[in-house]
Structure 1
């Protein structure tokens, strides 16, 4: 049986998050360096931490800080704790398993809250922003980071036997997510202001990693396209689905892992908002 999307139940969200962290590490560090902090934070909360991309970037940026990582997935938090233990930072990390659409746990009084690629999943984003506002110490900073959908990996004319396939996959995925994840791609600035924050900075970071020949980029492309396939099955033609499955067949001659022309292209939008001192 070819190793396509259908045969990879073990290809988990946690693996994609780990690859995302590895491939985009430099860009994540640039975001933490840009944050308009007035004093080095001591208590940080990472909302929707996943396997820890933001947590570890924040630990590196603020060496005196403690980070509370919050996620609904026990698997994600287990991986995060293992990484913290392996690199000697377990004493600076606390994990809390919680569904933030429900009752919020006690998260202390942080002076920085970080939410990367998590707010658009919330059932009531406005309510979440108000919760964060009340959670932060007066004068504390809230950093919101969002990716503009799935990254792109192939040249526009690729694959040669089905040019433009990735573009059509993205268009189909966007139609699907417009219904199922309506807040993806939202402008969080006005919502932050409405929740009582003072917006202190906003930027868009273009990610364009060309000639990306590392094994991690190939696995990242494979995992991302596998995940995308689940949302585009009913939207693409049979010919496009067949071509996509050839890219995802790791044993086949057209596997995406065999391509030498991969890149990573996406955008990350960042907002920095402060809870007023008053």
Structure 2
């Protein structure tokens, strides 16, 4: 879930926990997914607008929906569509249902709790569009998952795979003053950790999609660079970017703490202290910097 999601956000590898790889921290996970959805909303809408659709989809499946960033962006874009939102987390799916009711869209959203690593998936209908944002790289066997998606899509239907290129960056390269380059060292440690635990992160999905029987019709990269002063509501944006950075780096800390030098860990903890003088929340130079890559692949008619 971005997620990212998650958005892409660092709940699992880099962000939203979709698919099967959930932690038990559903509340904190949901918070990061919500922030990810807010920060990346315009980019998500742009990705949806670019999809090479032959007609507006009426039946959509959101695989690894998290708390619904993609689900509701798709509903907004396609007012005649119904979405089946799939995730392994009952708590996330409850949030999706609550949001749907609040929007008056409860009749347009169906939630399905499922482990997408299972050999047999539940009945997800015959969708015209499958949306998989920050979820495919968590599959234990993504090739099998792609073949399953190919089988359930309507002939001529489209699969959209969206992935973040790793964990977002937030700090300037020379920050913090006492440990310049801290964030990059955290990323290097995180990359080593996730190379072992999430081997499909950063994969080139084009060959995998072709191998599963799809025809790849589009692949493109969106560069994300969102500062605190970006957009008309500067104050609100600054607060959201700060909260996103704080929650994201807290989660990053969990996977890198043992690999950091004591001085780096201490500097990171000072950034994460919400009331301290060195807190991230006191900085005015934060930005969300990352890339999202999207593949649009069609099941031949």
TM-score of the superposed pair, with normalisation by structure 1: 0.95
CA RMSD of aligned residues (A): 1.1
Alpha-carbon shift at residue 88 of structure 1 (Å): 1.4
Q: Is the 8 A contact 1:152 1:266 kept in 2?
A: yes
**Offset from partner CA, 1:69-110 (integer Å, 9 cap, x none):** 000001111111111111111111000011111131000000
Structure 1: unaligned runs, 5 residues or longer: 1-8
Match of 2:166 in 1: 149
Is 1:270 the counterpart of 2:291 in the alignment?
A: no
Q: Of 29, 32, 46, which aligns to 1:30?
A: 46
Alpha-carbon shift at residue 10 of structure 1 (Å): 7.7
Kindly report which structure 2 residues correspond to 1:33-72, keeping only aligned pairs within 5 A, or say none.
33-72=49-88
Q: Is the 8 A contact 1:11 1:223 kept in 2?
A: no
Rounded Cα–Cα distance in structure 2 between residues aligned with 1:164 and 1:170:
10
TM-score of the superposed pair, with normalisation by structure 2: 0.88
Alpha-carbon shift at residue 210 of structure 1 (Å): 2.4
**Offset from partner CA, 1:192-237 (integer Å, 9 cap, x none):** 0000000000000000112445211111001110110011012110
Q: Of 256, 272, 288, which aligns to 1:232?
A: 256
Rounded Cα–Cα distance in structure 1 between residues aligned with 2:225 and 2:287:
7
Q: Is the 8 A contact 2:26 2:91 kept in 1?
A: no
If asked which structure has higher relative contact order (CA below 8 Å, sep 6+), I would say: 1
Rounded Cα–Cα distance in structure 2 between residues aligned with 1:232 and 1:11:
22
Rounded Cα–Cα distance in structure 2 between residues aligned with 1:164 and 1:229:
15
Match of 2:187 in 1: 170
Q: Cα–Cα, structure 1 residues 78 and 222, in superposed 2: closer, same or farther, change >3 Å?
A: same
